Amino acid sequence: MRVRDQAKAMLQAMISDGSLASDERLDEVGLSHRMGISRTPLREALIALEGEGFVRSVPHKGFSVTTANEEMVRELFPIIGALEAQALRMSGEAVIASAPVLSALNNRLANAKNKAKSHEIDRAIHHGFVEHCGNPRLLKLLETQCALARRFDGAAARGIANPAGACAQHAKIIAAIEASDLARAGELLLLHWREGEITVINWLKKNT
């Protein structure tokens, strides 16, 4: 594996989990020394991450972490909703056949012990919605946007008063899938992300 790929993965993880905070400046020489690599692969990793929205750069001033704030949620969540809904609509019989699996996952989500487990199962459900779409490019795009959204997992976990809400929405979506009405399921999925957007924003407003 190339050094730049490792660096990219490491930086992305550090941004997702908050080790590198919003707006934090990324000094190239300092960072490369701390990571035990040279500036070249680090810069290449940062350029790749810039395209995905994790960092920004301004000429002759360098890289910094993008800002995870309400504005980002307002922009990001509708994108994810639209892409997931489209993937679901494109999925055909394969998703319909997997409805029981999704239903089972949703039950596990309802009884999840901790927040980490909840997020894991939630991701599995949403992955199940889209994995059969037969559009790798769409899935990759979605994956990138979801990775960005993961920066708000903390807010989402604390923000959900009753996780039952999300489960209920999932159940409706799965019911539409079982009924072979993927158009309806897509609409509900879009709504689900709209709800998530509101939830996260409310949490952000209270806790800043």
> Which stretches of the chain bind DNA, using CB under 7 A?
2-4, 25-29, 37-41, 43-44, 57, 59-63
Number of residues binding to its own copies, judged by CB under 8 A: 29
Q: Which long-range contacts (CB under 8 A, 24 or more apart) does 59-65 make?
A: 62/25, 62/26, 62/27, 62/28, 63/25, 63/26, 63/28, 64/23, 64/24, 64/25, 64/26, 65/15, 65/20, 65/21, 65/22, 65/23, 65/24, 65/26
* Contacted entry of DNA, its own copies, none for residue 78, CB cut-off 5 to 8 Å set by kind: its own copies
The stretch among 42-50, 96-104, 116-124, 174-182 that binds its own copies (CB under 8 A) is: 42-50
Nearer to DNA, 41 or 159 (CB): 41
Give least dist CB 192 to its own copies, A: 14
Give least dist CB 36 to DNA, A: 7
* Contacted entry of DNA, its own copies, none for residue 27, CB cut-off 5 to 8 Å set by kind: DNA
Does position 136 bind its own copies by CB under 8 A? yes
Does position 68 bind its own copies by CB under 8 A? no
Are the C-beta atoms of 176 and 95 separated by less than 8 Å? no
Give least dist CB 161 to DNA, A: 42
Residues recorded for the chain: 208
User: What b-and-e string marks burial along 46-81, b requiring 16 or more CB atoms within 10 Å of the CB?
Assistant: bebbeebebbbeeeeeebbbbebeeebbeebbeebb
* Contacted entry of its own copies, DNA, none for residue 137, CB cut-off 5 to 8 Å set by kind: its own copies
